[in-house]
Structure 1
Amino acid sequence: MAEAALHTETTCKIRHVHIECPICLSRFTDPKILDCLHSFCLKCLQELIDKQDPKTDVIICPMCKKETTIPDGGLSDLLSCFFLSSLIDDVINLEGPKEDINSPVSTCEGCDEGLEAVSRCVDCDANYCKTCLDQHTKLKAISHHQIVNAAGASTERPKDKDKTEAQKCRKHTDQELCFYCDTCDLLVCPKCAVLDHRASNHNLSEINDSIRSYRRAVDEALQKFDDCRKQFQKVDDSIKHSQQRLQLMVDQALRDIVAKEEEEITKIRNASRLLQERVTQIGQERGEGFESIQSSNHDKMSRAEQIVASVNDLMQHADNFELLDLKPKVMHNLDFHKELQFQTVQHSKSFIGFKGHGIVTDADLGEILEEEQWEVKTEFGKCGEGEGEFELAVDVVCFSNGDIVVIDSLMCLLSTFTSKGSYKSTGVQSGTEDGKLKQPFGVTVTSDDLLLVTDGQDVKVYDRELRYIRQFRTSQNQVEGQSESLLRGIAVDKKDRIAVADCKRKVISLHNMDGSIISTIHHGDISSYCYLSVSSKERLIFTNYGKMKLVCVDFLGNEVFNISTSVDGKYFNAYGLCCDDAGDIYVSVRCIGWGTDEIHHYDASGEHIGCVARGLFYPLGMTFTSTSDLIVANWYSVKVLRRL
């Protein structure tokens, strides 16, 4: 019984396909696995990288072109495929000792029958009977094998998938199959066509025409699968973003709880511990929900990938008659995309926070917030020209010690306030001529508390005491026929790379701290009220007030999204913006004909989440504090918002 089992097509395929290296077409020797899960002989991989650039530290898979990093110890440190090695040993044990190749009678290496070997494959160094030889050359995805027949004569077996020998009709054995009936999904001969398929409801076509139509249908189905893959990637990226944001919010909530716990020490330690456990539990439950939905989406995509892989393999290796025989089953399997729907998650579930009570008891430290809400924590400033007053508060920034700096574009002043809104000082209205502000608009701060201000054509640098240090221009040499610069929004990333928006030349330039330029990005949506922010993913986000747009580009200038800030039929002009640590975007908007102004929340992909604050008056520049409060320059005043 065991020997009989060896005579199957599957056994032949295992011997001559699955345990043979795709490079040398021989049985694996010391097989190694690449990151893409394809396996090759160690010696073949070594020969492969010997042909590459010696400086390259990756190896490219010859099957799928994916890259695998070469370990420090060389290719020998790659994972060994013990399964293949074991399978080869089992096959060798089943085959037993080989007979003398000169013997007129030997064992066919396809079915193990002791028959006279009809032919020998020189390329594979193996004898085959006629049946197994046909199967062998069919399985081998190569152009030809050199065959030596029993008499010693050499011949070549060509492999041409596109040419199929005509087959005879089973019913009319003297007739060739030359038509395909789409109505019955059958290959038919001329007699069958006349006798059995001539009714008006039978759709007959020549085999070549049917094959072309068949392949077009498969291509269309595969294109629909590509659309499903794109949808899957979008949903999966959204879930990953929500997971990351959830973790950031969980961590922030835990830090807030611990801070409040330290204020009250032992009296509230037990309550603090219970709250931490509850926050962690909520985070775990929501995280598990995200993972469950993500896992379900991955399972759906994995099953779809398997179907597509099987269809692609069939379309590449089967001949025309086999393809048409299997057409109903293939097309049925490709209908999966109609039911391939991916689940999404509620972005709001990625938020969790903590609000401490003003009066703390032994058992009541505060409450856990499971939905994101904001309130005004403090507000300072009023219309006027005195200390702590504003003519037009256009932008705002926060130092590492919590001090708030506000820029007034009409009075050309920078003013400093404490984190609670108490006035401290006003600067740069006097001093050197270079230090004076003439057309200030945007302001930002570096990691070491240097203040950067856009002022006409210049970026001016001040210290924490608002003392002038230096300045630089984003374009030293004007191009003939090009307008002069007018700098507006400015932002700094965590590596202290400076991004500056020039509304007249419609460019965003990236600079080092010394002012030297890194790159320049051109974009037609850069406007005169262009505020600018940098996310943690090396993306530049800016607003266009007139066109009511929110635009995101990467550091290479590739557009990530370009969306309208109008929502549900309401028109909102976008002004200032800033990003939180999770990459979410907050935009101050001016409502047109709909009452008070608002602050809107978008996720990192540009999806509108909702409104977080209403009742503002011309909200302009914004920034986050180190404690995640949101500071808004509100024309005549400054508002500090906090999450409830």
Structure 2
Amino acid sequence: MELQCGLCGQQYSRPRVLSCLHTFCLACLESLMKRQDREGEVCCPVCQQRTLLPSSDPSTLPSDPIIDALLEVKSVEAGAVTCTSCEENSSAVCRCLDCAAFLCRNCQGAHRFMKCFKSHRLVELENLSISDLASPLKLLTCTKHTGEFLEFYCNTCDALVCLKCTAIDHRRTSHQYVYVKDAAAVMKERMLYLLENGRKRSEEVRVQLLRMEEKIDHVEVEKMKVKGEVDKVFHTLLSKLEDRQEEMCKEVETLYLRQKQFLNKQGKSLQLDEERLQAGTRFVEKLMTYGSTSDLLTCGKLVTSQFDLLFKQCPGNDMKSSGAVGVSVDYHAFGNLLSRIQIQIKTVPKIGVSSPVTQAGCSAVGESHRVESGSAEATPPSPKEQFSPSSSRSNLSEERKGSDSAQMDVTELHKVRSFGKRENAGNCPYLTCVAVGANGNIYALDMYKSVVQVFDKEGKYCFNIGGRFQAPGRLEKPVELATSSKGYIAVRESNGRMQIYSDTGQFIFKFQLLRVQRPRSMAIDRKGRFLVGDVGTDRCPHGVVIYSSDGKLLRKITKLSAYTSSLAMSAQNHLLVVDHRAHCIQVYSEEGNHLRTIYPRGSRIYMRGIIVNQNKIILVTSEKVRNNMYCGGLVVMAKDGTVLDKFKFPEKQPVVHVALTQDGCPLAILQGNSDICLYGSIYSK
């Protein structure tokens, strides 16, 4: 866990928690208040949420109990803890879990000797853990009654109280109080509810951010589209409309500048909302993991207030489809055209947090909402409205359905020839996977015989790799293969083993796939590392497991937003993961950091696989045949998501697996066919 303050960059000193659940040093907050010069409040430098301080004293803010406990652990590891039971400042050697005190050697002996401490548990510092520092049995002492533990929780006053407090200030006649343990159990259930909903809301806001980024890009595209329509109209009326043409182009620029600024403002607001939700869920996670019952009750009101505030600020709004933008000219009314050609404003969907955004087009016919030349400006930005991102996924899905109509023509692939290793009747290969090596050779996996068939560039059979009875390098139920730019072949077996061969078929080494529950896909990056996609289980999260070039486990990337169904590596060694549920491609760095999301533009594409070839992304589309999913065709796409070409396979038989040669010729394995089909290049259309 990070122990550095986000303001000073140093280790936390007297950490304090703001109402947004961000933690900073007390001294940093005091300096921040002086710089902000706000009376009775401080503004969080991360999410910009205000925290009220009626006394203008940051020291009255609650401390972060988990950070305090971690700092104590770090002090213990550094040997910088002194005895808190005596005044000699001797070095501590143990900690009493019941007194929550560090003890020196003398105090340790006295603690064991005295009868009143006979049942107390002492733990040596070298055996101390954070769970000991945040023991669920640890009780705070009352500030009003010395030596009294806070054993009760007053529901009426929302405060921890001791036994004497219940008899004096919190009598049963007017106050309702319960044991700390019982109150903590109720608070824990509430925390779990807040944690679950906070995670969901954080994910939904993240989807809204992706949607916002797409809208900002869409604004630029629409701007160019509308400017083109304006140019087309004025080309017809060139002589008399030149002056008006310049004015309207300026109007378009001004209008879309406002829209872009407005969308950027919305995006920033969404980022702040996401940051607050993530901060809240992180705080609750560490509180639930390491906090004691007292910590839960101490911070419960603060956490509840913050999540209530965030949930109130997050109602939803419906996204309605926008009307088409176009140019309309009445050539029969040419004499009045100059005064009638105007920038037409049409309402488009709300995006997340505010009022409808406007969309513009050039029109010569009057509309109910418009911006006249020289008239008052359009007013899309209104004060921030409440929103709920709960429907963001369905709204995004519905909008993508509406874009399916803009599909381009699909080209049927031209079959050049088919090739394969000829066998006797009844002994045909059962090919399931095909790949192309760095030397141009073609490798086909035969699951029935547990071999890899090797063909040269022309499709001539060369030799087999593996085999049931070959040792070393014997294959047992191979299910997938991948090739490397360094010239070797990796074969994954169903028993969780990976075997590596040279391009000449020589066995190199093998290793076991560790930390993989349900492998689904694999790839080899430009550094020679092996990447295996794991769809995971209920107890094990999905992700990508990375092994070194010699088969050693490096790490497992589990913070992937995409369901790991197919992998590919880009020329920059970025990891491309097909997210078939969201119909997009998620791009991650080598360390697993999310870089961007690529949506195919113009239509929804049901993806089965992904190939990176000649600096382009080739998507293998999915097709359902007799309740089974197969490869339906290929979509050539640029890095920004622009769809360049679409192809389909001419055969009626389902396609099981697809690969591309170095010059862009597709290779396909058909169901029930022992041959490999070769098609013409997808780049020579």
Q: TM-score, normalised by structure 1?
A: 0.39
Question: What TM-score, normalized by structure 2, do the two folds share?
Answer: 0.37
Higher-Rg structure is: 1
